Structure 1
Amino acid sequence: MDASTGGTSSVQYHNIAEQTIASLSPPPVTYQRQQRHCFGNVSPGEFPLSANPSIVLHVLTGCNLDAQDLAKLEASVTCSFFRQPAHFSPDHELSLSELAALDMCQKRAIFKPMTLEQRQDLKQRCGGSWKLVLRYLLAGEACYRREKSQAIAGPGHSIVVTSKGAVYSFGSNSSGQLGHGTTTEDARPNLIRSLQGIRITHAAAGAGLTTPKLVESLKDIFVVQAAIGNFFTAVLSREGRVYTFSWGNENKLGHQTEPSDVEPHPLLGALENIPVVQIAAGYCYLLALACQPSGMSVYSVGCGLGGKLGHGSRTDEKQPRLIEQFQTLNLQPTVVAAGAWHAAVVGKDGRVCTWGWGRYGCLGHGNEDCESTPKVVEALSNVKAVHIATGDYTTFVVSDTGDVYSFGCGESSSLGHNTAAPDEQGNRHSNILSPELVSSLKRVNERVVQISLTNSIYWNAHTFALTESDKLYAFGAGDKGQLGVELVSNQTERSNPEMVDIDLMT
């Protein structure tokens, strides 16, 4: 196309020398390396980035660069183009990197409904940078399946949230915990009709429910996650604040409450001004994955029995305290899990750390010793982990290839290892002291993305495996119908995964 007849060309090309082919074997050509600058130079043929920075902004946002990549652009000592104000709306003082981060934040579902004031408040909590806000939002999406389907293995009953926000429940119902307004046990997944018309994004399972009711005390708090720790409940707000209630009057979470106090109270101490991306609760303790300018870190608070708080002792902590061992291990935590008596973390590099009470081999170190600080599971050194789940003396690890490993207490077949022959003591449910591949899940030919297992000391455990194609498999204890699968006569558990008849795409 001739630029002279098609309008004004925005880019002109100069000095494109014509070359002829002298022979089939031309002599080697020596090229002169030219120094390029973001703002161009006097040499013809240069296209200065400053001529149209909107194109650069489009490339930065279109490539979905993460916060670390954007920070590297501004840290470059050879170019000030990415550091200086870009003079674009909505804030003319923001650099291109900051504008790109803000643009990508605005694409996140959790960020869209926030008011301008709420966004600015989150920005200040994250260190005053949109790049750090982006890192916070991405970290939250990575550590749990926000905006996607999920399964929760509760104490004797189960809850399933579909990708469109519908909620199903099944299993034990002696206290009305299925939420259907009855106390009738049911092994079939049934829709909780009182929640129809409300899009649910996250669920946690405790002992009782009867019929779902709005928690009036949380009405003004945008909650993105909940965790139940036997005698208390914790919730995480969209802005990264942690609230707890029903803990009792022993000042165990940084605030003094009465046993009858059901009002949520903010978690005080070190996490007051640090945004939290994930919470996990075990037996009377809480873990918080926090996002700081220096990187990701883990805080713990509550009961220290068995060393499960990770501070090198078994003493209780009344306020959140940083677990310093991860700095020593040079490990950046990305996902945290809290079992009843032990805890685990997955690092950015795929390493797995466990600590706490090591009974039945639930720490995966080949023994039943306790560990009062996080310790790398060496048996998984050739596995890059992306997800972890813990229960009552049981642990599951999901690798980046979708393989699943489990270890710990083998009771009720909840580990997924089919032990057909009894051991020397006549027990068919042998404990696993080191991580073993769950071959029964390997045979379903589905890539597993999430594991959920019972995290209660009062019930035999059952386990759910959710696959990439939104198929749900269940195994373990099923005597109350909590597997969502009908069992044959006299059968109380399933050692092999069986697919639950439920459509998670609805």
Structure 2
Amino acid sequence: MADRYRSASLEDLPSHLILEILTTGRLSAADLVHLELTSSIFGGGHGLYPQKFRSLVDFVAFQLCFSSSVYKGMGWNSQKQLFDRCGGNWKRLLRFLQAVEESSGMVETSAGNMQITTGMYHTLLISNSSIYSCGSSLTGVLGHGPETTQCVAFTQISLPPLAHVVQVSASHNHAAFVLNTGEVFTCGGNSSFSCGHRDTSRPIFRPRLVDAMKGVPCKQVATGLNSTVFLSRQGKVYTCGANTYGQLGHGDTIDRPTPSIVQLLETTGSVVQVAAGPGYVLSVTDNGVVYSFGSGSNFCLGHGEQHNELLPRAIQTFQRKGIHVVRVSAGDEHAVALDSNGFVYTWGKGYCGALGHGDESDKTLPVILNSLKNHLAVQVCARKRKTFVLVDNGSVYGFGWMGFGSLGFPDRGPSDKGTKPRVLDSLRAHRVSQISTGLYHTIAITDKGRIFGFGDNERAQLGHDSLRGCLEPMEIFVEDVAADENDAAQQ
């Protein structure tokens, strides 16, 4: 009778059940490594293709790779090349795929899910589904109401009860938030209807639901200078706001007060990521093609010329060379792309070395960054004349303009420039999971959930009230409002 209630150990479970448990859970590559090191149950082969996989965990990593949306969109040759680039290690390949998937949204840290985004003079942070902001509240971009002009520390933004934020974007004057329901809220300047609200051109001082997107669940938003791009869960793209250069992708220069679908992108395949520059947009499809439209100035569209494109146009350099792009970043005057092999490409204005090729020459077409070819890049980030590249071991490389210390190199003056990628030694002690750079400041999140900022802090965009600026990373702390409220209730 007692045996009936004996608790079963993992050793008693059949290997196929352990496999099912591991593959249906949301395990990271790091979790799998820890399991493999912890128990022989996970380190053994268990007769599952012993000639091909070193362990059960190795087989689990293989299964999880093939369930990745990024990996499934790649052709067989691209998959083979990536496997070889990862040294035939399925766990490393999985780490790459998961990092890429998180690069345009939330990253999983030991302190919970987080995302950071930096705007002109402000910063927004998602931490465990709550949204915080700090810095200058120009035109209400911080979302705290008309009476708030500045927040010197990260302050939680009020949203409807039970609202869980899963992605945020903030550029110059406005911000947009995606909830787990797929609903989108916006706040900030709406003079060009960039917030997607037809009934007002005044600033939106508190987050407001974009009614025009009801019934169209979104997974990502990207805010430009005076426009916003919405990416639905079905891979369709909608745009609204100013359309001076055709950056809305509708074939004309007519402004749109509310989001309208970009019809040409409906025929190109499912879009997996979007990025918005000041007057142009980049979009990536599931088959690795990059489409650009809007302002052609500074060669940011990647077509070898500076003509405006009123409709989405595929960047032929990638297609001709069989390059499968997985993520893009749209800077103020240049652009960056990451391909399925972890290689980085830059194009646009080369001022101050923002393209990383050792000079300040413009690149009219995407050019591979040879100095990083030995690294497996997982995130690219471009903004004002500077670029950051995050590689799979958690190191960060930066290049471009060093104004205000926003490149993170304390041994160089604020007016210096770095024309080639250089690792940020000041962050070497940490494994960075995500990085975002604004006009003159930069914020990084580590795998432990720690937040570090550097650069200009004139308007408290680094979340500190006692600094004017930092030449090297300084830790930022976020007050846990929920915990404080619970403590108060118990007293």
Tell me if both proteins adopt one fold, taking TM over 0.5 as the criterion: yes
Closer/same/farther in 2, CA of residues 448 and 195 from structure 1, 3 Å limit: farther
Paired residue secondary structure (2:154) = strand
Q: 1:505 to 1:298 in 2, by over 3 A?
A: farther
Q: What residue number does 1:14 align with?
A: none
The 5-angstrom pairing of residues 215-254 of structure 1 reads: 215-248=210-243, 251-252=246-247, 253-254=249-250
- Contact kept, 8 Å, 2:268 with 2:285, in 1: the verdict is no
CA drift at 1:419:
3.0
Q: Give the letter aligned to residue 169 of structure 1.
A: S
Per the alignment, do residues 61 and 289 of structure 1 end up closer, same or farther by CA in structure 2, a change over 3 Å counting?
Answer: farther
Q: Does 1:341 align with 2:333?
A: yes
Distance of 2:24 and 2:445 partners within structure 1: 27
Give the secondary structure class of the aligned counterpart of 2:390. strand
Q: Rate the CA distance shift 1:196–1:366 in 2: closer, same or farther, 3 A.
A: farther
Contact 1:152 1:452 in 2 (8 A): yes
Residue 440 in 1 paired to residue 426 in 2? yes
Matched, 1:199 2:159: no
| Alignment of structure 1 residues 1-20 onto 2, 5 Å | none
Deviation at 1:234, TM superposition (A): 0.5
Alignment-derived partner of residue 88 in structure 1: none
Summarize the alignment of residues 288-303 of structure 1 with structure 2, pairs less than 5 Å apart.
288-292=283-287, 296-303=288-295
The AA in structure 2 aligned to 1:269 is L
Counterparts in 2 of 1:404 and 1:369: CA distance versus 1, 3 Å: same
**Structure 2: where are the runs of 5+ without partners?**
1-14, 26-62, 75-93, 108-112, 175-187, 189-204, 483-491
Contact 1:360 1:409 in 2 (8 A): yes
* 2:83 match: none
Q: For the residues of structure 2 that align with 1:480 and 1:247, how far apart are their CA atoms?
A: 27
Percent identity over paired residues: 31
Q: Provide the secondary structure at the position in 2 that maps to 1:175.
A: helix
What is the rounded CA distance, in whole Å, between the counterparts of 2:266 and 2:365 in structure 1?
20
8 Å contact kept, 1:270–1:321: no
Cα deviation code 1:189-240 (max 9, x no counterpart): 1111245531011111141421111111112211111111212110100010
Question: Taking structure 1 as reference, are residues 450 and 143 closer, same or farther at Cα in structure 2, changes over 3 Å only?
Answer: closer
Identify the residue that residue 436 of structure 2 maps to in structure 1: 452
Q: 2:272 — aligned with what?
A: 277
* Pair 1:394-2:370 in alignment: no
1:334: Cα distance to partner?
1.9
Pick closer, same or farther for the CA change 1:378–1:179 going to 2, 3 Å: same
Q: Give the partner amino acid of 2:157.
A: I
Letter of the aligned partner of 1:236 in structure 2? L
TM-score using structure 2 length = 0.69
Shift in alpha-carbon separation, 1:301–1:437, aligned structure 2, 3 A = same
Matches within 5 A, 1:18-33: none
Judge conservation of contact 1:343–1:355 (CA < 8 Å) in 2.
yes
Normalising by structure 1, what TM-score?
Answer: 0.67
For the residues of structure 1 that align with 2:236 and 2:252, how far apart are their CA atoms?
Answer: 18
Output the CA distance in 2 between the equivalents of 1:346 and 1:202: 20
The verdict on how the C-alpha distance between 1:250 and 1:316 changes in structure 2, with shifts beyond 3 A counting, is closer
Deviates more, 1:169-178 or 1:394-403: 169-178
Deviations for 1:262-283, whole angstroms, at most 9, x for unmatched residues? 2211112254451011101112
Question: Is this contact kept in 2: 1:279–1:287, CA < 8 A?
Answer: yes
Q: How does 1:114-129 map to 2 (within 5 A)?
A: none
The one-letter code of the counterpart of 1:337 is S
- Larger helix fraction of residues: 2
- How far, CA to CA, are the matches of 1:145 and 1:204 in structure 2? 9
Please name the residue that 1:141 is paired with: 101
Given candidates 166, 170, 177, the residue that maps to 2:134 is 170
Provide the rounded CA distance (Å) in 1 between the counterparts of 2:481 and 2:447: 12
1:435 is paired with a residue of what secondary structure? strand
Match of 1:112 in 2: none
Give the distance between the partners of 1:269 and 1:391, measured in 2 at CA.
Answer: 27
Contact 2:296–2:309, Cα closer than 8 Å, also in 1: yes
Q: Which residue of 2 aligns with 1:501?
A: 477
The structural deviation recorded for 1:362 is 0.3
Q: Is the 8 A contact 1:149 1:504 kept in 2?
A: no
Residue 324 of structure 1 is matched in structure 2 by: 316
TM-superposition CA deviations, 1:78-120 (whole Å, max 9, x none) = xxxxxxxxxxxxxxxxxxxxxx99x969xx9xxxxxxxxxxxx
Aligned counterparts of 2:143 and 2:463: Cα–Cα separation in 1: 16
Partner of 1:314, secondary structure, is: coil
CA distance in structure 2 between the partners assigned to 1:251 and 1:359 by the alignment: 25
CA spacing shift, 1:61–1:328, aligned 2, 3 Å: farther
CA contact (8 A) 2:379 2:434 kept: yes
Match of residue 262, structure 1, among 254, 257, 262: 257
Counterpart in 2 of 1:190? 155
Contact 2:153 2:478 in 1 (8 A): no
* 1:276-304 residue CA offsets vs partner (Å, 9 max, x unmatched): 11101112111111013xxx221111111
How many residues matched?
372
- The residue identity in structure 1 corresponding to 2:105 is R
1:256–1:310 distance in 2 versus 1, CA, 3 Å: closer
Residues 30-76 of structure 1 deviation map (CA, whole Å, 9 limit, x = unaligned): xxxxxxxxxxxxxxxxxxxxxxxxx99996896579xxxxxxxxxxx
CA-based RMSD of the aligned residues comes to 3.3
Aligned position for 2:459: 480
> Larger % of strand: which?
2
Aligned to 2:33: none
